[in-house]
Amino acid sequence: MPTIPERLLAVRERITQTARACGRDPATVCLVAVSKTRPAEDVRAALAAGQHDFGENYLQDALPKIQALSGADIRWHFIGPIQSNKTRDIARHFDWVHSIDRIKIAQRLSAQRAPEQAPLQVCLQVNIDAEVSKAGFAPAAVAAAADAIALLPQLRLRGLMCIPHPSSDPSGQRAGFAALRALLTQLQQRHPHLDTLSMGMSADLEAAIVEGATLVRVGTDIFGPRLSG
């Protein structure tokens, strides 16, 4: 069984090879290691191998790890669904939030981010395939949401995030990512500072990078199958 550093190296090599093949600088793609359900020891192993961005889906799972690793050079990314009663702790303990799907959630995060903290870096989650089971703004609603959220004082709107419908076909994988990229390009006419596309996971990161991903969220291919609980 490969170790976490070995798995991490393999993922980085995939990112580098894909970026170079499509004419991109590999340094423009940030790897977020999704450590949900994994213990703090696994995060430490990845940290020792040079990984500094970690993603968490579940607040109750993340907080003990954040406390255990207090003082480490880690940027914590919240990438899961956000309930209103969880915004205070997310605002206090995370550096990035990828999954804002309601203006109300953004307003709460801004209000609950301490004034002495740097602004919370945020992305709007887009339901790019209009799937009933998925959260996220409809593409047609993104511009108005961005206008409102860009005004919130303790947030810095950075871009868009999506989780397209799974596909094993590379062209099928690229379709959703291409749609999100086009949406960001349109949005940049109103908000030229936007620079982030959070898209691509273990099974489709290559397609995401070809379509412009700047953050890829990889869990299984670094840490192995998710743990229950």
Question: How many beta carbons lie within 10 A of that of residue 60, not counting itself?
Answer: 9
Mapped onto helix, strand or coil, the DSSP state of residue 184 is helix
Q: Give residue for tokens 């999506």.
A: 162
Write out pLDDT tens, residues 164-214.
988 888 888 899 999 999 999 999 999 999 999 999 999 999 999 999 999
Q: What is the pLDDT of residue 168?
A: 85
pTM for this structure? Answer: 0.96
d(CA 123, CA 146): 9
pLDDT band at 228 (very low <50, low <70, confident <90, very high): low
Number of residues in the chain: 229
When pLDDT is averaged across residues 131-142 and rounded to a whole number, the result is 91
Burial classification of residue 114, based on how many CB atoms lie within 10 Å of its CB (0-12 exposed, 13-18 middle, 19 or more buried): exposed
Among 191, 210, 195, residue whose Cα is nearest residue 159: 195
Write out pLDDT tens, residues 10-32.
999 999 999 999 999 999 999 99
Write out pLDDT tens, residues 62-112.
999 999 999 999 999 999 999 999 999 999 999 999 999 999 999 999 999
Both tokens of 117, joined, read 């903290």
Beta bridge partners of 122: 97, 157
Q: What is the pLDDT of residue 169?
A: 86
Q: Give residue for tokens 């990161």.
A: 205
Question: Does the pLDDT of residue 224 top 90, yes or no?
Answer: no
Q: What is the pLDDT of residue 66?
A: 97
d(CA 4, CA 66): 19
Write out pLDDT tens, residues 23-58.
999 999 999 999 999 999 999 999 999 999 999 999
Mapped onto helix, strand or coil, the DSSP state of residue 158 is strand
**4-222: what CATH class?**
alpha beta
